[in-house]
Each structure stands twice: as structure tokens, then as C-alpha cells.
Amino acid sequence: MNELKLALRVDDLDNVATIFAEGVTDGTEVVIHDKKGNKDQVHVIGDVPYGHKIAVRDIKAGEHIMKYGQSIGVADVDIKKGEYVHIHNMKALRGRGDL
């Protein structure tokens, strides 16, 4: 039996979780843990490097991407639960220097 890969959702406002595992590829099962001890098992959509994000629920285009209880960007397109969230489907709001 394969061990489930781990992802962490840090804040109740977060709509993404951070992957803490190597070898997370399209279709991998991960278990998302939150600070209350809740767990949610999801299929990952896309190949996700260690330390990167996946959606913990469906996110609509134009919706803020929330990590650590703060907005880190806006979804450029609709993002499905379990999908890799990164610069290919979101517009970052931090570190741009033009805001």
C-alpha cells in the first residue's frame, strides 16, 4: 500500500494547501490536513513540486488565492479542486513592485 502524500492548509481562509512531498504527479492522491485536525483526500491535477500549492476547493476566475490567511494573487481562470496553483493560472499580487 502506498503512503498518501501530505499537503497542509494553514488558515481557515486559505483556498490552497502546500504540498510537503516529493513525486506528486498528475493523479496522485494527497491528504490535506488543517490546523483543526480535519483531513480531505484529493486527486492532484498536474505535476506539483515540493512546496507548491494545490486548490482545496474549486476557485473561480477573478477570485483571490488565499494562503496563510492572506491574498497572494487572483485566479486568471477557473481552477478545480486538487489542481496545481501557480503562475500559469493565477496573477501574483506580491513582490510585483508596481502596486
Q: Which residue has the cell 492532484?
A: 44
In this predicted structure, what is the pLDDT of residue 43? 96
Quick one: pLDDT band at residue 85, thresholds 50, 70, 90? very high
What pLDDT was estimated at residue 1? 47
Give 53's DSSP letter. Answer: E
pLDDT at 97: 53
Radius of gyration of the chain (CA): 13
The predicted model scores a pTM of 0.90
Phi, psi of 33 (to 5 degrees): -105, 145
Q: Which of 97, 86, 94, 99 is nearest to 18 (CA)?
A: 86
Q: What is the pLDDT of residues 15-57, one digit of tens each?
A: 999 999 999 999 999 999 999 999 999 999 999 999 999 999 9
What mean pLDDT comes out for the span 80-95? 90
